[in-house]
Amino acid sequence: GQQLNQSPQSMFIQEGEDVSMNCTSSSIFNTWLWYKQEPGEGPVLLIALYKAGELTSNGRLTAQFGITRKDSFLNISASIPSDVGIYFCASWMDSSYKLIFGSGTRLLVRP
Amino acid sequence: DAGVIQSPRHEVTEMGQEVTLRCKPISGHNSLFWYRQTMMRGLELLIYFNNNVPIDDSGMPEDRFSAKMPNASFSTLKIQPSEPRDSAVYFCASSPSSSTQYFGPGTRLLVL
């Protein structure tokens, strides 16, 4: 079935460092979504990508939709302690309403 | 907008008891989703409603789980009887016309 593979599983970085994480699949997707989940809260949508090659920024966050449509990456520049959380990529299964999620990248930021 | 509202935020109950989780979707959203999140299995879709009608309940684990959406502003997920393996975080999400989903804060359920 369709699966999203996220890496790395976790990152422990120093405040101020840049962060890069990615999401890959053997299947082609038409949309890539990036969510952040903070401790004790639900996932919050950060960025949505709708076209192959698209590069979109949201403040210090930048995400790209891979040209093969099988991958996406998320970069965070100049990390701060409030960036702590789990970052999930997601997309729709077979162009249906069903969202599938990657296993998440857990980010910890050392002040 | 208040976002998706879920209650209770935390629930601790004993095995065999009935548990009812509640969700108020974002006004104007016509799709509603119930998810379960565990460390082992991540986020799993349990059931999907469109215009208050259950469209896909294939993710509901067992007959002990049931969900209703009596109107556009309210949904419930019921577990009866509850078991320890039901312990998880349950999320409700809503979206306009099956597009981007907005999640509630979740209900943390612990079944002893």
pLDDT at residue B101 greater than cutoff 70: yes
| Structure confidence by residue, pLDDT tens digits, B13-44 | 999 999 999 999 999 999 999 999 998 888 99
| Structure confidence by residue, pLDDT tens digits, A20-67 | 999 999 999 989 999 999 988 999 999 999 999 999 999 999 999 999
> Alpha carbon of B78 to those of A83, B21, B32, B36, B90: distances in Å?
34, 6, 15, 13, 11
Q: Are A23 and A90 in contact (CB under 8 A)?
A: no
Q: Which residues of A touch B50 (CB under 8 A)?
A: 97
**Cα–Cα dist B11/A103, whole Å:** 25
How high is the pLDDT of residue B4? 96
Residue to mutate among B101, B102, B108, B109, with most A CBs inside 10 A, is B101
| Interchain CB contact of A66 with B (< 8 Å) | no
| Interchain CB contact of A13 with B (< 8 Å) | no
Do B42 and A101 make contact, defined as CB atoms within 8 angstroms? yes
Q: Residue A107, SS3?
A: strand
Do A99 and B50 make contact, defined as CB atoms within 8 angstroms? no
Least confident interval from A30-39, A75-84, B30-39, B91-100: B91-100
Query: Residues with Cβ < 8 Å from A39, sequence gap 6 or more?
Result: A84, A85
Q: Which residues of B touch A38 (CB under 8 A)?
A: none
Q: Are A109 and A11 in contact (CB under 8 A)?
A: no
| Interchain CB contact of A33 with B (< 8 Å) | yes
Could you tell me which chain A residue has the CA closest to the CA of B94?
A97
**Nearest CA-CA partner of B6 in B32, B33, B24, B31:** B24
Query: Residues with Cβ < 8 Å from B45, sequence gap 6 or more?
Result: A98, A99, B33, B34, B35, B56, B59
Measured in angstroms, the CA of A79 and the nearest CA of chain B are apart by 24
pLDDT level of residue B69 (50, 70, 90 thresholds):
very high
How high is the pLDDT of residue A66? 94
Do B100 and A44 make contact, defined as CB atoms within 8 angstroms? no
How high is the pLDDT of residue B33? 96
Q: Are A18 and A109 in contact (CB under 8 A)?
A: no
> Alpha carbon of A33 to those of A22, B32, B66, B81: distances in Å?
12, 18, 29, 36
How high is the pLDDT of residue A23? 96
pLDDT at residue B65 greater than cutoff 70: yes
Per-residue HEC secondary structure of A3-26 comes to CCEEECCEEEEECCCCEEEEEECC
In the numeric block, which tokens belong to residue B108? 């943390």
Could you tell me which chain B residue has the CA closest to the CA of A47?
B100
pLDDT level of residue B1 (50, 70, 90 thresholds):
low
Q: Whole-angstrom distance between the N-terminal and C-terminal Cα of chain A?
A: 40
In the numeric block, which tokens belong to residue B56? 């896909």
| Interchain CB contact of A45 with B (< 8 Å) | yes
pLDDT level of residue A92 (50, 70, 90 thresholds):
confident
CA trace torsion A24, A5, A38, A44 (10° rounding): 50
pLDDT at residue A17 greater than cutoff 80: yes
How high is the pLDDT of residue A3? 86
